[in-house]
Chains A and B, each alone.
Chain A
Amino acid sequence: MRIVSVLVASLLFGLGLEVAQMTNPQKVIGFLNITEKWDPSLIFVMVGAILVNTLLFHLTKKKASTIFGDVLQVPNKTHIDKNLLVGTALFGIGWGMGGFCPGPAISGLFRLDPGILIVVVSMLAGMFSYGLFQKLVSK
């Protein structure tokens, strides 16, 4: 049942991205293009997602466990550190440059577009490299 619910949740997520056209980099670049021709659609995606998810998150948190009795594994970091700021700053640069963030890149794979495959492979290379970088820095 857990696997079925993971599948249903991720199908819904991919469906939502496509319905909102967030899998189309022109919609994302259009949103980031505030100085010229601006497409505010992405704000509406975030508002819809945050409203529903806030409600569901706080309802679930009250119960302290899932409907299958599993523990909730919610991030517990609260301090603002350099990694958060540098990392998210870099993330935004790559997001604007390529027009993709992880969800839409993965979701777009069904199109079998070589360009999207290039984004996914480059993203995975970047994620993998961060693992190496982290090991190097922590030495």
Chain B
Amino acid sequence: MEIVNFTPMPALGGGVLIGLAAGLLLLTVGRVFGITGIISGIFNPIKGDILWRVIVLIGLTGGAFIGSKVMGTDAALQLRSTPFLIIGGFIMGFGARYGSGCTSGHGVCGISRFSMRSILGTMTFMATGFITVAIMTHLGLN
């Protein structure tokens, strides 16, 4: 193993912003910043509980847009090939609801609450993520 492309300071700075964002959402409206849970609530609509969820989705991409202008990272990204985007995207969405959370809900918010479920969930998705990428790398798949 060789360490490449390591950007510790932007990573730490971005992380601090994410932690502030999640803290602010809880402190003001009492919700945890679990993006899977926030999207899932739109599938089972409850009156008066939709608007804030839609605002989160708009805010996320708006914030990233501002960030890309500030950081100069708005160039096109190198993505996986379309079949992997489709299958990977589907399994990722299916699994996120199945496991009651994703990187934000379990990885950030859950670990911050010292939830054993989230700590175990995060270890599980990291492990299967490592295995999946190892297999794809060794088979030369992109």
Q: Which residues of A contact B (CB under 8 A)?
A: 1-3, 5-27, 29-30, 32-57, 59-60, 65-68, 70-75, 77-80, 83-103, 105-111, 113, 115-116, 118-131, 133-134
Proximity string of chain B (68-81) to chain A, C-beta cutoff 8 Å, 1 when within and 0 when not: 10110110111110
Considering only CB atoms and an 8 Å cut-off, how many residues of chain B contact the other chain?
A: 115
Cα distance, A68 to B101, chains bound together (Å): 26
Beyond the given pairs A18-B71, A119-B89, 16 more chain A to chain B contacts, judged by CB atoms under 8 angstroms and listed by A's residue number, are: A13-B60, A29-B133, A39-B4, A41-B11, A48-B12, A65-B30, A84-B120, A85-B124, A89-B127, A93-B95, A101-B103, A102-B93, A106-B39, A108-B77, A111-B76, A116-B79
Proximity string of chain B (1-20) to chain A, C-beta cutoff 8 Å, 1 when within and 0 when not: 11111111011111111111
Most chain-A CB neighbours within 10 Å: which of B5, B7, B66, B111? B5
In the assembled complex, 23 residue pairs joining A and B whose CB atoms fall closer than 8 Å, in A order, are: A6-B28, A9-B56, A10-B21, A13-B21, A14-B62, A15-B17, A18-B66, A18-B68, A26-B77, A41-B10, A46-B107, A54-B111, A55-B23, A59-B27, A86-B98, A87-B97, A91-B96, A99-B88, A108-B61, A111-B74, A119-B79, A122-B88, A126-B93
Chain A: which residue is nearest B66 at the CB level?
A15
Proximity string of chain B (97-109) to chain A, C-beta cutoff 8 Å, 1 when within and 0 when not: 1111111101111
Across chains A and B, the number of contacting residue pairs, with CB separation under 8 Å, is: 519
- The listed residue (B67, B97, B127, B133) touching A127 by CB distance below 8 A is B97
Contacts of B22 in A (CB 8 A): 9, 13, 49, 53, 56-57
State the Cβ distance, B52 to closest chain A Cβ, in Å: 5
State the Cβ distance, A79 to closest chain B Cβ, in Å: 8
State the Cβ distance, A121 to closest chain B Cβ, in Å: 8
Contacts of A124 in B (CB 8 A): 39, 93
Chain A: which residue is nearest B78 at the CB level?
A26
Do B27 and A91 touch across chains, with their CB atoms under 8 A apart? Answer: no
Do B7 and A11 touch across chains, with their CB atoms under 8 A apart? Answer: no
Contacts of A102 in B (CB 8 A): 35-36, 39, 92-93, 96, 102-104
Contacts of A22 in B (CB 8 A): 14
State the Cβ distance, A26 to closest chain B Cβ, in Å: 6
Contacts of B97 in A (CB 8 A): 87, 126-127, 130-131, 134
Do A20 and B11 touch across chains, with their CB atoms under 8 A apart? Answer: yes
Do A60 and B27 touch across chains, with their CB atoms under 8 A apart? Answer: yes
Proximity string of chain B (45-66) to chain A, C-beta cutoff 8 Å, 1 when within and 0 when not: 0000001100111111111111
- The listed residue (B11, B61, B125, B136) touching A48 by CB distance below 8 A is B11
Cα distance, A83 to B98, chains bound together (Å): 6
